Amino acid sequence: MNDKLQTCSFCGASQGVETPLIAGIDGHICEACVALAHQVVTSWGRCRSLNGPLKPPPKPKEIKDQLDLYVIGQESAKECLAVAVHNHFKRLAVEARHPRRALDDRDRVEIDKSNILLLGPSGTGKTLLAATLARIVGVPFVIADATTLTQAGYVGDDVEGIIVRLLDAAGGNKDVAEWGIVYIDEIDKLARVGENSHGTRDVSGEGVQQALLKLIEGTQVKISAKGRKESAETPVIDTRNILFMVGGAFAGLERVLRRRLEPGPSAIGFHSEITAKADPRAAARIYDETQPDDLRHFGLIPEFIGRLPVVVALHDLDEAALVRILTEPRNALVRQYQQLFLFEGASLEFTPEALVAIARKAIARGTGARGLRSVLEGLLQRPMFDLPSMTDVVGCLVDEAAVNGDGPVQWRHTAAEPESVAVGAG
């Protein structure tokens, strides 16, 4: 009988009740070293799968330059997202090329992920930023909608469904999916209801926030076989390295901020102080002052807020920014409508004053950049209705009077006539 005390051939741990060893032909290995070896081998597999995107990681300036082609303004938000995505790539590259090789690896610093919260008024570009990032990054990217999520066991989508979509985006490759990026939109709709909820469970509000806690921080998600091809094993996704970004308009948060930043007068009558009018510039950037306590008053639970350390504020777009949105991006609205007119063999032109008037109308609607398309649709509806039936038209000119409804849009015909035929702007 061999009474010799066996030790792990890798770390030297002695065999015991709490430290069992697996015997091999010429050595033994403990449970901790088996787990470490599995982590190293998995990193090699991920490195092979992501060899293209991870070599080299895109620089923050390169990411921002790509965002600039599609998103106008919001410079601080684009810089923050560029840094976050670059660091995400860098974490993946470091872990793939230099995996943890020992249980006590003191020279290796493990970098934690920094999940991001995007907040700002509707129409400021939150979803557009996320969708544009999806075109840039080389890892799987998924955009989910928080309004469709409910607690497990209720009608709706479970939070684990987001990871299923990420796995599908990775082509079923579990290792690649574990290094993806997830954007959850409309996160402000998960704000918990007030105390007058008549005792009903908030299954699509606070309940979803609680279900997202471990998912965002890092947990093992077992992918169910429902709706998927039958396989010998059920994949388990580790969300520890998945970067989560959430965004929402947070309508009403500005009132919470103003109560904290602009306290009302404490006295009335002759002893009261006359408060100065708020600076419009400061009011436009009030979301920069958002603190975790403000989000708690809005309806997010503290545990959820703590897992989103990076808060990026987006601001209302001014008139100049909306004019740039109309003309500068690759998919600018003016270019889109010009292409529609070119399909009919006619050009479409806007005067500079007309562009400013369109931006001014969009601001008045209070829907941000989304209001630009509504203004253009109403403005060009009648010309687009009449154009396919016209035979001698080569161009259309929109001026300020046409935008304001004080005059018609002007058609240019093939004949070199000094006068132009006008069609009412409706």
Q: Pseudo-torsion of CA 69, 70, 73, 79, nearest 10°?
A: -70
Strands (E), 230-366: 236-238, 243-248, 310-313, 347-350
Burial class from Cβ neighbours inside 10 Å (0-12, 13-18, 19+) for residue 274 reads exposed
**Whether 72 contacts 314, CB under 8 Å:** no
Query: Binding-site residues, please?
Result: 8, 11, 30, 33
Q: Which of 2, 25, 302 is nearest to 15 (CA)?
A: 2
SS3 category, 19: coil
Q: Which residues, in sequence order, are CB contacts of 324 under 8 Å at separation 6+?
A: 72, 73
Q: Which residues, in sequence order, are CB contacts of 344 under 8 Å at separation 6+?
A: 387, 388
| Cα–Cα dist 357/363, whole Å | 10
Q: Report the chain's C-alpha Rg in angstroms.
A: 29
Q: Concatenated DSSP letters for 366-402?
A: T-TTHHHHHHHHHHHHHHHHHGGG-SSEEEEEE-HHH
Query: Binding-site residues for Zn(2+), please?
Result: 8, 11, 30, 33
Strands (E), 149-219: 181-185
- Helix or strand holding residue 410 (H, E): strand 409-413
- Helix or strand holding residue 222 (H, E): strand 220-222
Q: Which of 27, 37, 19, 127 is nearest to 81 (CA)?
A: 127
State the first-to-last Cα distance of the chain, in angstroms, to the nearest integer: 100
State whether the Cα torsion 226-231-236-237 is positive or negative.
negative
- 33-36, Cβ contacts within 8 angstroms, sequence gap of 24 or more: 33/8, 33/103, 36/100, 36/101, 36/102, 36/103
Q: Which residues, in sequence order, are CB contacts of 103 under 8 Å at separation 6+?
A: 11, 32, 33, 36
Phi–psi pair at 349, nearest 5 degrees: -130, 145
